[in-house]
Structure formats: C-alpha cells, structure tokens
Amino acid sequence: MTPPRPAWLLDLPLSAYPAVHHLQLQCIAARRSRRLDRDLIIATEHPPVFTLGRRGGRENLLVSEKTLRDRGISVIPVERGGDITFHGPGQIVIYPILDLGVGRYKVVELVEALEEAMVRTAADWGVIARGDKKQRGAWVSGRKLGSVGITIRRSISFHGLALNVNTDLTPFSWVNPCGIPGCTMTSLSLETGKKISMPEVRRSLTAHLAGLLNLALSPVSRTAVEELAADDIKLSPDSA
C-alpha cells in the first residue's frame, strides 16, 4: 500500500469569499512553482455570497441583484465548474489545492472523492447520502446536501466542495441551485433535527477527504501560507 503523502491543512474561521479566492490563486501559483512543496487543503465558512460558475447562472437568479445588494449579499463570477450556488455561515467549504500530476489523480476521481467525503461525513451523523454522476454533489432522497465545483489550472486543482451543516437554506430559494430548477436543498441539521457541531464536521470531512486522497494532513497557519505564496521560501514543519 502506498504511504500517504504529506499535505497541509489550513483551517480558517469565517472568511470573506474574495479574500479566500485570492488566497487560492496565490497558492496554485506557489504549488506550480514548488514554493508550496506539498498539497494544501483549505477549510472555511463564508459570509453570505452567491457565486457563478463557468456555466453562468444569472438566468437562474430568481430575485434581482438589487434585492441581494440591499441585503448585503454579493454575486461573484468565478472560474469553477457548475452554475450558481450560495455560500453562508453554517456551510463548510473545502478548497483542495492539489497537484494532480504528483498525486496521479484523474479529474473524475477527484470529483468522486469530494462527493464521497461528504457522503461519509453525512453517515457519521446517521444521514444516508449518495453521489450522482449526472448532477454532481451529495444527495439525500432527492434533496441536495452538498455541492461540488472545481477548476484545474496547469494540473493544479482549486475550488472544491460545500457541505450544508447548519446553513440557513432560505437564500437557496432565491436561485435555481446549481442551475437545477426545483432543486430542494437540505442540511445535516435539517436531516437530523438538531444543531450539529461545526468543528466536529470539519474534522470528519477533512479526515475522510484525506483518506480518499491518500494524504497525511498537518496543520498550517494562514500567515505561513501567505508568506509562502508571497516569497520564494519553502515551508518547513516549524512554520505550522
């Protein structure tokens, strides 16, 4: 059996979407140049925001952008696959910055690993979910629990998955989620009828993903990652 490859885990608190998106772009450049000498998993939550994937999605926005602005919610176009989706507090978002060549991952294998990590995490709370090859994500009896949307840039992956844990699902009713008319969203708290510990779900989700991708995760600070991305310096274990 191939031993797990070392990788970093950057566990962020609630963070603005544009700042984390910028950090991803810095990290894929650092990973490609080998300043970042191992893969990186970023785990976070975002304040309320809608993002539009490469398929567009404004036609799937069911309220005006002015209505969203009045509520302080931005609509941000990004490079990931997929259509429109919502991010907000109580939703865990995972961004894997992976060198697919080094890890010998195929794109479809990465997508399936992201789905399966959500499925296994849901099972830890007694929720039976499944992936779907036609409508990517994690599904519970036709209700969408989590979404997947990635981008590959010169063999480096970014963007990733979003798992609804204690998320306020109301904003999903303002769009056709992921471009699917009539799509019903759900969350772990809704399925279990109780509030779920976010730190516990983060640990479960990152552990399952690491196992599926054969990674040995070590924690790293945001400061260390930002310094690495800005400077031509190798990250050592002492920087974590």
Tens of pLDDT, residue by residue over 146-183, are 999 999 998 999 999 999 999 999 999 988 877 777 78
Residue 239 belongs to some domain of the structure: no
What is the percent of the chain where pLDDT is above 70? 95
Q: 178, 185, 209, 224: which one is catalytic?
A: 178
pTM over 0.85: yes
Amino acid symbol at 109: E
**If you search the block for the tokens 């797990």, which residue do you land on?**
4
Share of the chain above pLDDT 90, in %: 67
- Predicted pLDDT at 220: 96
* 78, part of any domain: yes
- Cα–Cα distance between 240 and 218 in angstroms, integer? 8
What pLDDT is recorded for position 238? 43
E strand or H helix that includes residue 198:
helix 198-213
* Count: domains in the chain: 1
Q: CA 138 to CA 216: how far, in whole Å?
A: 24
Q: What is the pLDDT of residue 239?
A: 42
pLDDT in tens, 73-90: 998 888 887 788 899 999
CB 5 within 8 Å of CB 216: yes
236 within some domain:
no
User: Please, what is the average pLDDT of the chain?
Assistant: 90
Active site residue 27: no
pLDDT of the residue at 17: 96
CATH code for position 212: 3.30.930.10
In this structure, what are the phi and psi dihedrals at residue 221, rounded to the nearest 5 degrees? -85, 155
Residue at 238 is within a domain:
no
In a domain, 203, yes or no: yes
Q: Whole domain around residue 104: which residue ranges?
A: 5-231
Whether residue 240 is contained in a domain is answered as no
Whether 224 is covered by a domain: the verdict is yes
Of 128-132, 140-144, 174-178, the range with the lowest mean pLDDT is 174-178
Residue 134 scores a pLDDT above 50? yes
Q: Which helix (H) or strand (E) holds 208?
A: helix 198-213
Span 50-55, mean pLDDT?
82
